[in-house]
Amino acid sequence: MDTSNWQVVVVEDEADSMELVCGVLEHYGITSVGAETGEDAVELLNRLTPTMLIIDLALPQLDGWGVLQAVKSNPLTQDVPCVAITAYYTPILASRALKAGFDACFPKPLNSRTFIADLYRIMES
């Protein structure tokens, strides 16, 4: 799959996790833009329409659920795939994320090989 035109917004407040996710994406030729807060992510969406968002659920202030709501309520971004990541993963939380409108939910730390394959699958659907 050609990823040269992908632009993925990574919303993550932990620097190490942000670096890891962006590094994995860039290793596969995917351009990433980081946002450290939910508010920063919403502001970014006023300037660009990404190919996908990867959103940590446990952000301070405007959390991942709030970011998802902002994305889905904006006509320009409502169809952009959103992926949740969380250190607090449970099957119940993943089910809740899917029902809320996320396209997938992954536990942290991420498995880089399967994570990229899953992102490809989401983009193909």
Checking DSSP bridges between strand 82-86 and strand 52-56, what pairing results, if any? Answer: parallel
Q: Residue 67 falls within a domain, yes or no?
A: yes
Confidence category of residue 47, pLDDT binned at 50, 70, 90: very high
Residue 32 pLDDT exceeds 90: yes
Q: Look up the CATH number of the domain holding residue 33.
A: 3.40.50.2300
Per-residue pLDDT at 14: 96
Q: Which domain holds residue 13?
A: 7-124
In a domain, residue 57? The reply is: yes
- Does residue 2 form part of some domain? no
* Cα four-point dihedral sign 103, 108, 114, 116: positive
Count structural domains, the chain.
1
pTM for the full predicted model: 0.96
